[in-house]
Amino acid sequence: MTNNNILIVDDIHPIFIEQVEALGYKCNYQPTIKLTEALEIIAGYAGLVIRSKFNVDKQLIDAATSLRFVCRAGAGMDNIDETYAAEKNLKLINASEGNMDAVGEHAVGLLLSLMNHFNTADAEIRNGEWKREANRGFELKGKTVGIIGYGFMGKSFARKLSGFEVEVIAYDKYKTGFSDRYAREVTMEEIVKHSDVLSVHVPLTKETNGMISDELLFHFKKPIFFINTSRGKVAQVRAVLNAIKAGKILGAGLDVLETEKFPALGEQEWFDDLKKSGKVLLTPHVAGWTFDSYRKISEVMAGKLAEASLVIGD
Protein backbone atom coordinates (compact mmCIF):
# COMPACT_ATOMS: atom_id res chain seq x y z
CA MET A 1 0.00 0.00 0.00
CA THR A 2 1.24 3.49 -0.83
CA ASN A 3 2.39 5.46 2.20
CA ASN A 4 2.80 9.17 1.64
CA ASN A 5 1.59 10.15 5.10
CA ILE A 6 3.33 12.97 6.97
CA LEU A 7 3.05 13.50 10.71
CA ILE A 8 3.47 17.16 11.73
CA VAL A 9 4.24 17.46 15.44
CA ASP A 10 4.88 21.23 15.73
CA ASP A 11 3.14 24.44 14.75
CA ILE A 12 3.95 25.33 11.12
CA HIS A 13 2.46 27.66 8.53
CA PRO A 14 -0.47 26.04 6.64
CA ILE A 15 1.24 26.80 3.30
CA PHE A 16 3.39 23.69 3.88
CA ILE A 17 0.37 21.41 4.05
CA GLU A 18 -1.20 23.09 1.03
CA GLN A 19 1.92 22.69 -1.11
CA VAL A 20 2.91 19.14 -0.14
CA GLU A 21 -0.61 17.77 -0.41
CA ALA A 22 -0.61 19.13 -3.95
CA LEU A 23 2.42 16.88 -4.49
CA GLY A 24 0.52 13.81 -3.32
CA TYR A 25 1.27 13.69 0.40
CA LYS A 26 -1.35 13.41 3.13
CA CYS A 27 -0.65 15.44 6.28
CA ASN A 28 -1.74 14.75 9.85
CA TYR A 29 -1.32 18.05 11.72
CA GLN A 30 -0.80 17.35 15.43
CA PRO A 31 1.01 20.39 16.91
CA THR A 32 0.12 19.46 20.52
CA ILE A 33 1.12 15.80 20.32
CA LYS A 34 3.40 14.39 23.04
CA LEU A 35 6.38 12.13 22.44
CA THR A 36 4.63 9.10 23.95
CA GLU A 37 1.70 9.61 21.58
CA ALA A 38 3.99 10.11 18.58
CA LEU A 39 5.86 6.88 19.36
CA GLU A 40 2.56 4.97 19.24
CA ILE A 41 1.64 6.13 15.73
CA ILE A 42 4.89 7.04 13.95
CA ALA A 43 5.16 3.61 12.28
CA GLY A 44 2.34 4.63 9.98
CA TYR A 45 4.14 7.65 8.52
CA ALA A 46 6.64 8.14 5.73
CA GLY A 47 7.51 11.68 6.81
CA LEU A 48 7.94 13.64 10.01
CA VAL A 49 7.89 17.44 10.36
CA ILE A 50 9.30 18.85 13.57
CA ARG A 51 10.71 22.06 15.05
CA SER A 52 11.97 21.39 18.58
CA LYS A 53 9.15 19.37 20.17
CA PHE A 54 11.41 16.42 20.99
CA ASN A 55 14.53 14.63 19.82
CA VAL A 56 14.48 12.48 16.72
CA ASP A 57 16.73 9.88 18.30
CA LYS A 58 17.30 6.14 17.99
CA GLN A 59 14.15 5.36 19.96
CA LEU A 60 11.93 7.39 17.65
CA ILE A 61 13.69 6.33 14.45
CA ASP A 62 13.45 2.65 15.39
CA ALA A 63 9.73 3.07 16.05
CA ALA A 64 9.28 4.81 12.68
CA THR A 65 9.51 1.70 10.54
CA SER A 66 8.05 3.38 7.44
CA LEU A 67 9.89 6.69 7.77
CA ARG A 68 11.68 8.02 4.67
CA PHE A 69 12.31 11.66 5.58
CA VAL A 70 12.37 14.19 8.40
CA CYS A 71 11.79 17.91 7.83
CA ARG A 72 13.15 20.32 10.47
CA ALA A 73 11.25 23.60 10.45
CA GLY A 74 14.31 25.71 11.14
CA ALA A 75 18.04 25.78 10.57
CA GLY A 76 19.73 23.66 13.25
CA MET A 77 19.62 19.88 13.22
CA ASP A 78 20.90 19.33 16.77
CA ASN A 79 17.69 17.63 17.93
CA ILE A 80 18.09 14.98 15.22
CA ASP A 81 20.53 12.06 15.43
CA GLU A 82 21.97 12.66 11.98
CA THR A 83 24.39 9.73 12.15
CA TYR A 84 21.71 7.18 12.97
CA ALA A 85 19.32 8.75 10.48
CA ALA A 86 21.97 8.28 7.77
CA GLU A 87 22.35 4.60 8.75
CA LYS A 88 18.63 4.23 8.23
CA ASN A 89 18.79 6.06 4.86
CA LEU A 90 16.51 8.84 6.02
CA LYS A 91 16.40 12.02 3.98
CA LEU A 92 16.90 15.04 6.28
CA ILE A 93 15.58 18.44 5.21
CA ASN A 94 16.03 21.73 7.03
CA ALA A 95 15.08 25.30 6.16
CA SER A 96 18.04 27.57 6.88
CA GLU A 97 17.11 29.80 3.96
CA GLY A 98 13.68 30.42 5.48
CA ASN A 99 14.86 32.34 8.54
CA MET A 100 18.30 33.64 7.53
CA ASP A 101 17.02 37.19 6.97
CA ALA A 102 15.27 37.17 10.32
CA VAL A 103 18.45 36.07 12.09
CA GLY A 104 20.63 38.58 10.23
CA GLU A 105 18.33 41.47 11.09
CA HIS A 106 17.95 40.38 14.71
CA ALA A 107 21.73 40.21 15.14
CA VAL A 108 22.10 43.72 13.76
CA GLY A 109 19.34 44.91 16.09
CA LEU A 110 21.05 43.42 19.13
CA LEU A 111 24.36 44.96 18.10
CA LEU A 112 22.99 48.47 17.56
CA SER A 113 21.08 48.32 20.83
CA LEU A 114 24.18 47.23 22.76
CA MET A 115 26.46 49.82 21.19
CA ASN A 116 23.99 52.62 21.94
CA HIS A 117 22.58 51.43 25.30
CA PHE A 118 18.99 51.38 24.04
CA ASN A 119 17.76 48.96 26.70
CA THR A 120 19.35 50.68 29.71
CA ALA A 121 18.60 54.21 28.48
CA ASP A 122 14.93 53.36 27.97
CA ALA A 123 14.67 51.82 31.45
CA GLU A 124 16.37 54.82 33.06
CA ILE A 125 14.08 57.37 31.43
CA ARG A 126 11.03 55.40 32.51
CA ASN A 127 12.49 55.47 36.01
CA GLY A 128 12.86 59.27 35.95
CA GLU A 129 16.58 59.33 35.15
CA TRP A 130 18.15 61.40 32.36
CA LYS A 131 21.75 60.20 31.84
CA ARG A 132 23.34 61.42 28.62
CA GLU A 133 27.00 60.73 29.36
CA ALA A 134 26.38 57.26 30.79
CA ASN A 135 24.56 56.33 27.59
CA ARG A 136 27.06 57.70 25.10
CA GLY A 137 27.34 55.08 22.35
CA PHE A 138 29.75 53.75 19.76
CA GLU A 139 29.41 53.99 15.98
CA LEU A 140 29.64 50.89 13.84
CA LYS A 141 31.42 52.72 11.02
CA GLY A 142 35.09 51.81 10.88
CA LYS A 143 34.76 48.80 13.17
CA THR A 144 35.84 45.26 12.31
CA VAL A 145 33.09 42.68 12.67
CA GLY A 146 34.26 39.10 13.08
CA ILE A 147 31.92 36.25 12.13
CA ILE A 148 32.47 32.62 13.08
CA GLY A 149 30.48 30.40 10.71
CA TYR A 150 29.72 31.63 7.21
CA GLY A 151 26.68 29.63 6.20
CA PHE A 152 23.24 31.07 5.46
CA MET A 153 23.06 32.88 8.82
CA GLY A 154 26.57 34.28 8.87
CA LYS A 155 26.30 35.53 5.32
CA SER A 156 22.92 37.09 6.01
CA PHE A 157 24.38 39.01 8.95
CA ALA A 158 27.30 40.16 6.80
CA ARG A 159 24.93 41.27 4.04
CA LYS A 160 22.85 43.30 6.50
CA LEU A 161 26.02 45.06 7.68
CA SER A 162 27.10 46.05 4.16
CA GLY A 163 25.70 49.59 4.44
CA PHE A 164 27.37 50.39 7.76
CA GLU A 165 30.89 50.93 6.35
CA VAL A 166 32.45 48.23 8.49
CA GLU A 167 35.06 45.63 7.65
CA VAL A 168 33.58 42.15 7.94
CA ILE A 169 35.92 39.21 8.38
CA ALA A 170 34.75 35.61 8.62
CA TYR A 171 36.12 32.25 9.68
CA ASP A 172 34.55 28.90 8.85
CA LYS A 173 36.37 25.68 9.72
CA TYR A 174 34.56 23.75 7.01
CA LYS A 175 34.81 26.19 4.11
CA THR A 176 37.55 27.79 2.06
CA GLY A 177 37.50 30.32 -0.74
CA PHE A 178 34.24 31.90 0.41
CA SER A 179 35.29 35.56 0.40
CA ASP A 180 32.62 37.68 -1.27
CA ARG A 181 31.41 41.28 -1.45
CA TYR A 182 30.14 41.07 2.13
CA ALA A 183 33.01 39.42 4.04
CA ARG A 184 36.67 38.49 3.75
CA GLU A 185 37.76 34.99 4.67
CA VAL A 186 40.35 34.94 7.47
CA THR A 187 41.90 32.58 10.01
CA MET A 188 40.67 32.20 13.56
CA GLU A 189 43.83 33.98 14.68
CA GLU A 190 42.79 37.04 12.65
CA ILE A 191 39.28 36.96 14.15
CA VAL A 192 40.83 37.05 17.62
CA LYS A 193 43.33 39.78 16.71
CA HIS A 194 41.19 42.25 14.78
CA SER A 195 37.54 41.96 15.86
CA ASP A 196 35.67 44.79 17.54
CA VAL A 197 32.49 42.73 17.27
CA LEU A 198 32.14 38.93 17.41
CA SER A 199 29.04 37.15 16.14
CA VAL A 200 28.71 33.37 16.05
CA HIS A 201 26.61 31.57 13.44
CA VAL A 202 27.49 27.90 13.85
CA PRO A 203 25.41 24.77 14.41
CA LEU A 204 25.63 22.98 17.74
CA THR A 205 28.03 20.03 17.39
CA LYS A 206 30.54 18.28 19.63
CA GLU A 207 33.15 20.73 18.32
CA THR A 208 31.13 23.89 18.88
CA ASN A 209 29.64 22.93 22.25
CA GLY A 210 31.16 25.40 24.72
CA MET A 211 33.32 26.99 22.02
CA ILE A 212 32.95 30.51 23.45
CA SER A 213 34.94 29.88 26.62
CA ASP A 214 37.15 31.68 29.11
CA GLU A 215 40.19 30.54 27.15
CA LEU A 216 38.97 31.79 23.78
CA LEU A 217 37.74 35.15 25.08
CA PHE A 218 41.01 35.72 26.96
CA HIS A 219 42.92 35.77 23.67
CA PHE A 220 40.91 38.58 22.01
CA LYS A 221 43.19 41.58 21.58
CA LYS A 222 40.49 44.26 21.79
CA PRO A 223 37.35 44.63 23.92
CA ILE A 224 34.44 43.30 21.85
CA PHE A 225 30.70 43.35 21.55
CA PHE A 226 29.48 39.75 21.46
CA ILE A 227 26.38 38.43 19.68
CA ASN A 228 25.01 34.89 19.81
CA THR A 229 21.97 33.98 17.72
CA SER A 230 23.08 30.42 17.00
CA ARG A 231 22.68 27.89 19.83
CA GLY A 232 22.92 28.54 23.55
CA LYS A 233 25.39 25.78 24.32
CA VAL A 234 27.89 27.28 21.86
CA ALA A 235 28.65 30.03 24.39
CA GLN A 236 29.35 29.37 28.06
CA VAL A 237 27.31 32.00 29.91
CA ARG A 238 29.68 32.12 32.86
CA ALA A 239 32.58 32.74 30.48
CA VAL A 240 30.67 35.63 28.87
CA LEU A 241 29.94 37.14 32.29
CA ASN A 242 33.58 36.71 33.33
CA ALA A 243 34.70 38.50 30.17
CA ILE A 244 32.26 41.36 30.84
CA LYS A 245 33.64 41.71 34.38
CA ALA A 246 37.19 41.71 33.01
CA GLY A 247 36.39 44.34 30.39
CA LYS A 248 36.97 41.91 27.51
CA ILE A 249 33.30 42.10 26.44
CA LEU A 250 31.71 45.56 26.33
CA GLY A 251 28.23 44.17 25.80
CA ALA A 252 26.61 40.84 24.94
CA GLY A 253 23.44 40.23 22.94
CA LEU A 254 22.18 36.73 23.63
CA ASP A 255 19.14 35.34 21.85
CA VAL A 256 20.03 31.85 23.06
CA LEU A 257 21.29 30.48 26.38
CA GLU A 258 22.83 27.24 27.64
CA THR A 259 19.56 26.56 29.45
CA GLU A 260 16.33 28.01 28.11
CA LYS A 261 12.79 28.40 29.43
CA PHE A 262 11.61 28.68 33.01
CA PRO A 263 11.77 27.32 35.64
CA ALA A 264 15.03 25.63 34.57
CA LEU A 265 16.63 28.91 33.46
CA GLY A 266 16.01 30.57 36.80
CA GLU A 267 17.74 27.69 38.58
CA GLN A 268 21.10 28.16 36.82
CA GLU A 269 23.96 29.34 39.04
CA TRP A 270 24.73 32.17 36.61
CA PHE A 271 21.19 33.45 36.11
CA ASP A 272 21.17 36.09 38.87
CA ASP A 273 24.43 37.58 37.57
CA LEU A 274 23.08 37.51 34.02
CA LYS A 275 19.86 39.19 35.08
CA LYS A 276 21.65 41.94 37.01
CA SER A 277 24.19 42.74 34.30
CA GLY A 278 23.46 46.00 32.55
CA LYS A 279 25.71 44.92 29.70
CA VAL A 280 23.66 41.95 28.52
CA LEU A 281 20.65 42.15 26.23
CA LEU A 282 18.45 39.05 26.19
CA THR A 283 15.79 37.80 23.78
CA PRO A 284 13.93 34.46 24.11
CA HIS A 285 15.32 32.46 21.15
CA VAL A 286 13.29 34.42 18.62
CA ALA A 287 15.96 35.65 16.18
CA GLY A 288 14.78 33.32 13.43
CA TRP A 289 11.12 33.36 14.39
CA THR A 290 9.37 36.29 12.72
CA PHE A 291 5.93 36.47 11.16
CA ASP A 292 7.70 36.45 7.79
CA SER A 293 10.03 33.53 8.49
CA TYR A 294 7.10 31.49 9.83
CA ARG A 295 5.78 31.28 6.28
CA LYS A 296 9.14 31.21 4.48
CA ILE A 297 10.37 28.23 6.51
CA SER A 298 7.34 26.20 5.43
CA GLU A 299 7.77 27.25 1.80
CA VAL A 300 11.45 26.23 1.83
CA MET A 301 10.64 22.83 3.35
CA ALA A 302 7.88 22.17 0.83
CA GLY A 303 10.16 23.21 -2.04
CA LYS A 304 12.96 20.89 -0.91
CA LEU A 305 10.52 18.05 -0.45
CA ALA A 306 9.30 18.60 -4.00
CA GLU A 307 12.89 18.52 -5.30
CA ALA A 308 13.57 15.30 -3.40
CA SER A 309 10.74 13.55 -5.30
CA LEU A 310 10.00 11.12 -2.46
CA VAL A 311 6.33 10.57 -3.27
CA ILE A 312 5.55 6.96 -4.07
CA GLY A 313 2.94 6.58 -6.76
CA ASP A 314 0.13 4.05 -6.79
313 in any annotated domain: no
Taking only the tens place, the pLDDT of each residue in 84-116 is: 999 999 999 999 899 999 999 999 999 999 999
My answer on whether 119 and 54 are in the same domain is no
185 in any annotated domain: yes
Structural domain boundaries enclosing 244: 100-282
11 in any annotated domain: yes
Strands 184-185 and 197-200: unpaired
As a whole number of angstroms, the distance between CA 81 and CA 100 comes to 23
Alpha carbon distances (Å) from 47 to 11, 66, 69, 80, 198: 16, 8, 5, 14, 38
Give the global pTM.
0.93
- CATH assignment of the domain containing 33: 3.40.50.720
- Mean pLDDT within 162-185: 97
Contact (CB, 8 A) for 306 and 18: no
Q: By CB neighbour count within 10 A (0-12 exposed, 13-18 middle, 19+ buried), where does 164 fall?
A: middle
Confidence tier at 155 by pLDDT (50, 70, 90): very high
My answer on whether 16 and 126 are in the same domain is no
Strand partners, 147: 170, 199
- Mean pLDDT within 74-83: 92
Taking only the tens place, the pLDDT of each residue in 245-285 is: 999 999 999 999 999 999 999 999 999 999 999 999 999 99
My answer on whether 61 and 192 are in the same domain is no
- What domain count does the chain have? 2
Predicted pLDDT at 312: 63
35 in any annotated domain: yes
| 68 DSSP 8-state letter | -
260 Cβ neighbours under 8 A, 6+ residues apart: 232, 284, 285
Closest CA to 242 of 218, 211, 268, 222: 218
Closest CA to 186 of 173, 199, 197: 173
My answer on whether 78 and 136 are in the same domain is no
Taking only the tens place, the pLDDT of each residue in 6-61 is: 999 999 999 999 999 999 999 999 999 999 999 999 999 999 999 989 999 999 99
My answer on whether 148 and 277 are in the same domain is yes
My answer on whether 252 and 196 are in the same domain is yes
